[in-house]
Chains A and B, each alone.
Chain A
Amino acid sequence: GAGVSQSPSNKVTEKGKDVELRCDPISGHTALYWYRQSLGQGLEFLIYFQGNSAPDKSGLPSDRFSAERTGGSVSTLTIQRTQQEDSAVYLCASSFISGGAEEQYFGPGTRLTVT
């Protein structure tokens, strides 16, 4: 079946612009995660959505970052007024939560470059 998809695959933007990154999780997966992969910081958790519960935003680095998940499926990560330190690969993952620990399936990522 189809895996997690993300778009765009690459995004180059000028400092100060807003960007939107999209994630389509695996159909039927109730949980969706955003991570960031950057040199020197490794893989960092950003935000987590599970069903209709309030999202866990504890990993968002600043209030310029926000995310939403519409209809329990597609998610959009928005970065406002981008800064050069936002340059990274943004990864989305999804999983089927059955009350315990489950494998997360990752998408190919969006490489964001802020110039």
Chain B
Amino acid sequence: AQSVSQHNHHVILSEAASLELGCNYSYGGTVNLFWYVQYPGQHLQLLLKYFSGDPLVKGIKGFEAEFIKSKFSFNLRKPSVQWSDTAEYFCATFPSGGYNKLIFGAGTRLAVHP
């Protein structure tokens, strides 16, 4: 079955540090990958998505992710984090053969200290 792994469960950074959150997916044919963010007390919202084309995807708030097929990875990056980036980040994908549910990783809690 399709699965998504996020290896960093908690990340603590100082403002202006660079961020990279890991996401690995199991192979399942057509790849559709997402990064969602959940700010404290807010609902899940989409940061960026990859369906096809340019493997370097740019999202909102300065985030980007790179799809590397050979590594089954879709890591999230930001060159310089801000305190307001403190949130929980989820990588997600659709199962092979269907678009009817998202399979989420366990999430990574990011705390940015001023």
Contacts and interface: CB of A to CB of B under 8 A. Distances in A.
A87 B36 CA distance: 23
B3 to A, nearest CB: 11
B49 A103 contact: yes
Given A48-B100, A48-B101, A108-B43, A101 B32 contact: yes
Question: Which of B42, B99, B103 gathers most chain A CB within 10 Å?
Answer: B99
A25 interface: no
B104 A101 contact: no
A43 B104 contact: yes
A106 B43 contact: yes
Contacts of B92: 43
Given A42-B107, A43-B90, A108-B43, A102 B99 contact: yes
B43 A101 contact: no
Nearest to A42: B106
Interface in A64-115: 91, 93, 97, 100-109
Contacts of B46: 103, 105
B43 A97 contact: no
Interface of A: 3-4, 31, 33, 35, 42-45, 48, 50, 56, 59, 91, 93, 97, 100-109
6 closest cross-chain pairs (CB), A and B: A45-B101, A43-B104, A106-B44, A101-B32, A48-B100, A108-B43
Given A43-B92, A103-B34, 11 more contacts: A4-B43, A42-B104, A42-B105, A42-B107, A43-B90, A43-B107, A45-B101, A48-B100, A48-B101, A91-B43, A97-B99
